[in-house]
Structure 1
Amino acid sequence: MAQHIYFDESGFTGNNLLHPDQKYFVYASVASDDHEAKEVVESVIRRYGIQGGELKGRNLIRFNRGRRAVDEIISHFEGRVKLSVSDKKYALACKLFEYIFEPCLSEINSVFYRVGFHKFIANMLYIEFVARGAGAEDIFAEFEELMRTRDEAKLGSIFASSVHPENSPILVQIREFAQCMADDVRKELRAIGDAGLGKWILDLTDTALFTLLANWGTEYDQITAVCDPAKPLQHDQSAFDVMIGREDRVFSDAFGERHPITFNLSGPIQLRDSKISHGVQIADALAAAGAYVFTGATDAHATRWRSIIAGIGHYGSIIPDMDEVDIRDVRAQRNAVLLMELHSRAKAGKNLVEGMPEYIHIISRMITERRGHP
């Protein structure tokens, strides 16, 4: 028999990842069934005097009584919850690498991913943004607008508004690289349009849901997925439909880590409004708890949930990692040199990937030897 998994989110803003009041996106999932979910919801509503006859996570976390109710839900479903948590600004930085850098390096992209170059660029951009580095906000805003509209006319002056005398060297290199490689970016934008992928290109829903389902698939032979009817899922479910009845389990070892990439769905994803699905209400409360923790709350509930989420909130999560840009580390030093080399080649109109594996090997050895570790 297929295991029911219920899903809902907190912080959905679609393609607007720079929304000032919704800085985190949390997608929650819980393994249960309609009968159990109904019993739990009705019990919580009755004992905590919750109005409206429905659990609404965003309302529950506003008051101590509601947080107590959520805490009970978390305890009840211990071991049956998985979350995906993403910092939207960092996610946008990752998207920038994916659509500005990756198309230019696609011939040997695995080489760059293997050394963590994508993480270096994304984390550097994120640091610039949160530190309000001169021009960083403009780069993010222009990139988001470009991806929303896919207006090729904007490529002619891409990131021009970010030019500032106080730009950091990193920001200058990233901006000028993008400007020099505008033709490659243009081809990528056209490919997105031709494939019909553009409407929700920056949204995080599909990625989070897919990753969660893949990880649940390592525990259950078949899954019935029940989701809140988010707009991206209403628009296109083709990536999930191909998993209906798929019984093989496939893993990817990309980027040095092993991840499941298949799962077995019992049928198309069921889209149910929370008003008629108690399981979705449970997922909604769990997602709200995750978002509440990341807002910086320090009450007793937030403190307890923070330690729990550390163990259940890593499935496809997109969170910055400052170790990737610690210039004392060989990895960060190498990627800083790589960026300078790519920037130099782009400005000179040279081939970006020719001899690059050998170049990476040489600079890795030089940096290591310089540090006294032959």
Structure 2
Amino acid sequence: MNVMINRLQISYFGGFGRQRPMTWNMSRPISFASSLSSPAIQIADVVAGVSAAVVAHANDPELAQFFPAVQAHLGEECILPDMSIIDLDGDDAPVNLVVLQELARRAENWEDPLKGMGYFYELARRDLPRFRSMCRETDERVTTEGRDLPVPPPHD
């Protein structure tokens, strides 16, 4: 599912005295092309490389002549992260965290990463209330018992 295709809702970020859009609307999914079969990719790579060099070395006399042309196409906006993706109070981030931990465990044990993953994902989603309860218990234990933790010995 690609949520940025034909997206009608626009989220904004307020900062530096302006409201800026944080979302975008694409007409179709991103497709990748090879620079071997598409000369336009080669041109885009050259333009991107030159632009980065001009901005990074704006005081270089050889590059200074290109700065006005590059600067005209630089924007104040950047792609900002959607913090809701990592918000553990939401439903997706905790499930994704548990799934990621399971994938890491499988990788360490040389297990098939996809075998039964659909079922595991559903279990993680169904077990979300228990996950939240465990997190709350851990938070409470850390805040109430944290003062009593022994100080570890110095590391040599």
User: TM-score scaled by structure 1?
Assistant: 0.18
Higher Rg of the two aligned structures? 2
Higher helix residue share: 1
Q: TM-score with structure 2 length normalisation?
A: 0.40
- Return the structure number with greater relative CO, CA threshold 8 A, min gap 6: 1
